[in-house]
């Protein structure tokens, strides 16, 4: 497997090369780039199966690379900044390593290559979710029965953007904006859906990775999440202070 390293610090390139040589013989570093321009040229002209990519480069952000060339292979982002995780996962990212990282962290990221294809980055598919779950994990709920007047419909988990508690009701909101009442509590739903795909950010919201559009820092070190479809006015999706660390880990799987 041939890899490209995009990193503007020569010492970091050397350290990553050495770390890869120690943990796996599968990956051969075929080329390196230290700027956006160099990276674009390499991606266009050099055969490769994987990219290790820093985010801040001398001539801009590595996200600028994706505006100039189509990236078709998995990307492992390596950076000193923790607030680009969502952007990374929307740009072919399969892992997000924070500097300084250990050999175990790098091994875990590399191991994901056996589970994920080089298809365009998206929220995990059901097959990928099954592959990522630990052995012996119970089957998670894949469909939800909802009522629309006198009619009954079954909604697949892939259609769900988020669940929202509102008083004594729990709403299922689809990615297309449809809203249904489900006869379950948010706590029970959190136990029935895959923790790879869903995260309960507070007492009111259980959100799918699909639904997250943006994250911003909020008061008291919390994080405010912008969801799509947009929740009703006054229903802000703010990650509880006691869930921040878990939320970061969830994004960084």
Looking at CATH, the fold of the domain delimited by 143-251 is given as OB fold (Dihydrolipoamide Acetyltransferase, E2P) (2.40.50)
In total, the chain counts a number of residues equal to 253
Alpha carbon 28 to its chain's center: 26
In tens, the pLDDT along 198-227 reads 999 999 999 999 899 888 888 877 899 999
Paired strand residues for 77: 53, 96
* pLDDT score of 151: 80
Considering just the CA atoms, what is the radius of gyration of the chain in Å?
Answer: 20
Q: How many CB atoms lie within 10 A of CB 229?
A: 15
* pLDDT score of 122: 46
* Residue 35 contacts residue 58 (beta carbons within 8 Å): yes
* pLDDT score of 228: 93
pTM value surpassing 0.75: no
Pick among 3.30.70.260, 3.90.228.20, 3.40.50.2300, 3.40.50.2000: CATH of 2-122: 3.40.50.2300
Enumerate residue ranges in the chain where pLDDT < 50: 115-124, 126, 128-137
Residue 150, burial from CB neighbour count under 10 angstroms (0-12, 13-18, 19+): exposed
Q: Where are the domains of the chain?
A: 2-122, 143-251
Ordered strands of the 223-227 beta sheet: 212-217, 223-227, 237-239
DSSP state of 209: G
* pLDDT score of 253: 64
* pLDDT score of 175: 92
* pLDDT score of 43: 94
């Amino acid at each position: 497997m041939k890899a490209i390293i995009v990193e503007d610090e020569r010492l970091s390139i050397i350290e990553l090369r050495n770390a890869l040589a120690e943990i796996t013989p599968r990956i051969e570093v075929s080329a390196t780039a230290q700027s956006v321009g160099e990276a674009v040229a390499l991606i266009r002209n050099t055969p490769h199966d994987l990219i290790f990519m820093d985010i801040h480069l001398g001539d801009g952000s590595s996200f600028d690379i994706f505006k100039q060339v189509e990236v078709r292979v998995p990307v492992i982002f390596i950076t000193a900044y923790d607030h680009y995780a969502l952007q990374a996962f929307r740009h072919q990212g399969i892992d997000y390593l924070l500097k300084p990282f250990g050999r175990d962290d790098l091994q875990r990221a590399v191991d994901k290559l056996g589970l994920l294809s080089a298809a365009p980055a998206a929220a995990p598919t059901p097959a990928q979710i099954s592959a990522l779950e630990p052995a012996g994990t119970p089957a998670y709920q894949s469909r939800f029965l909802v009522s629309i007047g006198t009619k009954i419909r079954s909604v697949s988990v892939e259609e769900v953007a988020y669940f929202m508690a509102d008083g004594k009701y729990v709403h299922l909101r689809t990615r297309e904006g449809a809203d249904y009442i489900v006869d379950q509590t948010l706590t029970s739903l959190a136990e029935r859906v895959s923790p790879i795909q869903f995260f309960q950010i507070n007492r009111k919201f259980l959100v799918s990775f699909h639904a997250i559009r943006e994250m911003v820092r909020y008061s008291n070190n919390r994080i405010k999440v912008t969801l799509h479809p947009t929740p009703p006015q006054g229903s802000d999706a703010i990650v509880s202070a006691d869930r921040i660390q878990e939320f970061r880990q969830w994004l960084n799987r």
